Amino acid sequence: MFVPAEFSFTEVSRISDITKRALEASLKNLLLKKPVNKITINDIVEDCGVNRATFYYHFQDIYGLIEWSCEEDSKKALARHATYDTWQQGFLDIFRAVKENKPFIVNVYRHVSQEQIIQYLYRVVYKLLISVVDECASGMNVREEDKKFIADFYKYAFVGLMLEWIKDDMKTPPERIISRLADLIDGDVVRMLNKCRLDPPGSTS
């Protein structure tokens, strides 16, 4: 990608981001027409109107573009909802982000790597959950490994729900899933943290 020497770092970063977005849009457009394992880098650059060198300046391969796209979508989904009071909205936003990218997610899941989608969901959901656990643990003396264990426990449960939802072609409204989940685990994070406390309520240490 040619960038004039007088451009600042901020301008270069902005141009790079715009190019990545354009490549992502081309990939998602092509996914409406054929499976991802049939898409080539030539297909993407022709659709995007750039050359192969520009693609390789930003990504090593198509899987690098896929991973970047997943990470960017997750950042948007978690932007304002990684707290105890808003985790339901945050998780709902993750469901919605997945559904909005249904051709992309389903294509990668079915034709490339289920593991890649699973690891993507694990990362996204864990970021949400560990923020909630840390907030709930405020003022408690709880080991980091115990907080991580709690976040991991819910991560596996949440992602399991999402994977079944994806396999079922995303038929169930995400709002219904979140509502049932919220009723089921209401207050459980705090209860689990209290069991892990090194300074249990009433202690005189």
- Rounded Cα–Cα distance for residues 154 and 149 (Å): 9
| CATH number where 26 lies | 1.10.10.60
Sign of the four-CA dihedral 50, 52, 58, 64: positive
**pTM for the full predicted model:** 0.73
Residue 43: give the domain boundaries. 9-59
pLDDT tens column, 23-64? 999 998 998 888 888 999 999 999 999 999 999 999 999 988
Same domain, 93 and 38: no
In a domain, 13, yes or no: yes
Same domain, 67 and 79: yes
CA distance readout (Å), 70 to 15, 99, 129, 167: 20, 12, 18, 18
In a domain, 20, yes or no: yes
Same domain, 53 and 67: no
Same domain, 83 and 159: yes
Please, which pLDDT band fits residue 19 given cuts at 50, 70 and 90? Answer: very high
| CATH number where 136 lies | 1.10.357.10
User: How many distinct helices (H) and strands (E) make up the chain?
Assistant: 10, 0
CA distance readout (Å), 175 to 110, 120, 181, 184, 192: 25, 21, 10, 14, 25
Same domain, 35 and 133: no
Same domain, 91 and 147: yes
**Amino acid letter, 196:** C
pLDDT reported for residue 84: 60
Same domain, 33 and 120: no
Same domain, 178 and 111: yes
Same domain, 109 and 51: no
Please, which residues have CB within 8 angstroms of residue 93's CB and are 6 or more apart in sequence? 76, 77, 78, 81
Count of domains observed in the chain: 2
Report yes or no: 51 and 45 within 8 Å, Cβ to Cβ: yes
Nearest CA-CA partner of 45 in 36, 34, 56:
56
Please, which pLDDT band fits residue 6 given cuts at 50, 70 and 90? Answer: low
Please, which residues have CB within 8 angstroms of residue 188's CB and are 6 or more apart in sequence? none
Same domain, 129 and 50: no
